[in-house]
Amino acid sequence: MTHESESGLPIEPVYGPEALEGWDPAQKLGAPGAYPYTRGVYPTMYTGRPWTMRQYAGFGTAAESNARYRQLIEHGTTGLSVAFDLPTQMGHDSDAPLAHGEVGKVGVAIDSVEDMRVLFDGIPLDKVSTSMTINSPAALLLLMYQLVAEEQGIDASRLTGTIQNDVLKEYIARGTYIFPPQPSLRLIADIFQYCKAEIPRWNTISISGYHMAEAGASPAQEIAFTLADGIEYVRTAVAAGMDVDDFAPRLSFFFVARTTILEEVAKFRAARRIWARVMREEFGARNPKSLMLRFHTQTAGVQLTAQQPEVNLVRVAVQGLGAVLGGTQSLHTNSFDEAIALPTDKSARLALRTQQVLAYETDVTATVDPFAGSYVVESMTDDVEAAALRLMERVEDLGGAVHAIERGFQKGEIERNAYRIARETDSGERVVVGVNRFRLDEEEPYEPLRVDPAIEAGQAARLARLRADRDQRAVDTALAALKEAAKGDANVLYPMKDALRARATVGEVCGALREVWGAYVPVDAF
């Protein structure tokens, strides 16, 4: 009996040599660390050192999140990954009417450089790599991070980390957009140029398929639409006058790892191969680092269940294994209680321990690309690659990622797949342990971590003090300069940094840009 993969592709019960008939290993594989990077972007991969172990954390106030970061570092985390609350992600201050009820709930509230200072208090920013899951206001958070580093006496050339900065996927799947697509792309190009000059070791964008997958995208859709967005970003930067090899080595990607290990491994390998070919053939990249698809992986939050939450420990271990076998550069493992509420200290520690078991107690780090030459994985890699390329061609036929977004194409495709998944789950055709099979008559009680609602009032009080204490004339002057830059073609990050240094707030800076660029209004699906 033939099964279907998550992408709707056939999975045969048995694979043999005939699956790879006419298959050219030199063309399809290459060596690890060599074009087309199917086998990984580095020659030694984890045989030299393991992937970067990140834990996505941030909740409530900057002080509370700082305490969690210190704990994670103490327990062996090698990279921080910052979650911001919805008001911060949408460019609103904590005391804005639209922020009511959301302050500090899905991440940390950051209203100004003062909050950023508290967030990283006592953490030497030249010793940690920090990833920030922030998109439309990514420039602001990066500049505040740089300002805090300068206060610590750290030169920006020593800072390492990543801003997600992938606004196109917000229009497709997530919704935390602020400005329309064209000015958003202009802002991203400004970030590329600024970081090349000022923060050269920073990864300027993490082009994300994760959130598309969380919205229901199949593996083939996930990499197709993510790579199509990546192509749009490269075209934007080249059109702004940048040489592809000046910025492409700092591009990175962000994918999900589902429980379907074989297809996930195939997906990661196919994505590397497609990107290497696009960068070499379409953009003429010469630097090998420009061809390398380096990516972070997070285990699949959408597959976690509130029912029998401890079973999520098993799911996360399986998903993390798939990411490692697929050659990820860094990994975040979800906590088992995230389907219920914010992770507790214990569950966050268990999530990290899951990665440490994979790295130090298994043998998957002893050899590079363990599945190379596998009949099933090589065949599935080809299948996923072909399916992704078909979708990418449809995006190109619509005029590229932005025009396809404006038509609602990607959103419509993902929504149709999400409906298919929901229908299969409801019918029982798709088994979800503890939800539609192997259920308990009565769930065991579980006490989740809760965010104190008083945080919102506390943040509002901090903002009132900040506005009373700062030099308002300096803020007004800096915001006026920012608006002038936004009207023209000057890089907006320099006046933006001046405004943040003068203690302008996230909401004020984003508000100034809204006055010039407007706000995005979504369109119906294709």
Give the DSSP H or E segment for 150.
Answer: helix 138-151
Confidence band of 526 (pLDDT split at 50, 70, 90) = low
Distance of alpha carbon 273 from alpha carbon 267, whole angstroms: 10
Whether the per-residue pLDDT at 328 is higher than 90: the answer is yes
pLDDT the model gives residue 184: 97
Place of tokens 């959130």: 211
pLDDT the model gives residue 525: 53
- Cis amide leading into 36 (omega within 30): yes
Q: State how far the alpha carbon of 70 is from the alpha carbons of 50, 257, 313, in Å.
A: 21, 27, 23
CA 94, 96, 98 angle in degrees (round to 5)?
105
Whether the per-residue pLDDT at 72 is higher than 90: the answer is no
Confidence band of 451 (pLDDT split at 50, 70, 90) = confident
pLDDT the model gives residue 344: 84
Alpha helices in 59-205 (DSSP H): 62-74, 86-89, 113-119, 138-151, 168-169, 181-198
Pairing of strands 52-57, 330-332: parallel
Residue (of 352, 260, 330) closest to 72 by Cα position: 352
Whether the per-residue pLDDT at 334 is higher than 60: the answer is yes
User: What would the mean pLDDT of 263-280 be, rounded to a whole number?
Assistant: 98
φ/ψ of residue 61, rounded to 5 = -90, 165
Radius of gyration, alpha carbons of the chain:
23
Task: Tell me the pLDDT of the chain averaged across its residues.
Answer: 94
- Cis amide leading into 288 (omega within 30): no
Confidence band of 443 (pLDDT split at 50, 70, 90) = confident
Confidence band of 513 (pLDDT split at 50, 70, 90) = very high
DSSP bridge pairs for 53: 331
User: What would the mean pLDDT of 360-376 be, rounded to a whole number?
Assistant: 96
Instruction: Extract the tokens encoding 430.
Output: 């798709």
Give the distance, in angstroms, between the CA of residue 273 and the centroid of all CA atoms in the same chain. 20
Instruction: Extract the tokens encoding 408.
Output: 């609602």
Q: Which amino acid is it at 10?
A: P
What residues contact 29, with CB distance under 8 A and at least 6 apart? 36, 38, 39, 372
Q: Which residue has the higher pLDDT, 197 or 451?
A: 197
pLDDT the model gives residue 524: 66
User: What would the mean pLDDT of 471-498 be, rounded to a whole number?
Assistant: 98
Confidence band of 426 (pLDDT split at 50, 70, 90) = very high
Whether the per-residue pLDDT at 247 is higher than 70: the answer is yes
Whether the per-residue pLDDT at 57 is higher than 90: the answer is no
Instruction: Kindly report, residue by residue over 152-166, the tens digit of the pLDDT.
Output: 999 999 999 999 999
pLDDT the model gives residue 273: 98
User: What would the mean pLDDT of 366-395 be, rounded to a whole number?
Assistant: 97
What residues contact 416, with CB distance under 8 A and at least 6 apart? none
- Contact (CB, 8 A) for 316 and 333: yes
pLDDT the model gives residue 441: 87
User: What would the mean pLDDT of 60-78 be, rounded to a whole number?
Assistant: 88
Distance of alpha carbon 376 from alpha carbon 16, whole angstroms: 8
Q: Which amino acid is it at 432?
A: V
Whether the per-residue pLDDT at 419 is higher than 70: the answer is yes
Instruction: Kindly report, residue by residue over 5-29, the tens digit of the pLDDT.
Output: 999 999 999 999 999 988 998 889 9
Whether the per-residue pLDDT at 523 is higher than 90: the answer is no
Q: Which residue has the higher pLDDT, 342 or 227?
A: 227
Q: What is the pTM of this model?
A: 0.92
DSSP bridge pairs for 299: 257
- Contact (CB, 8 A) for 309 and 340: yes
User: What would the mean pLDDT of 125-144 be, rounded to a whole number?
Assistant: 95
- State the virtual CA torsion across 144, 149, 155, 160 in degrees, nearest 10: -80
CATH node for 3-427: 3.20.20.240
Least confident of 343-347, 393-397, 476-480, 521-525: 521-525
Q: Which amino acid is it at 446?
A: Y
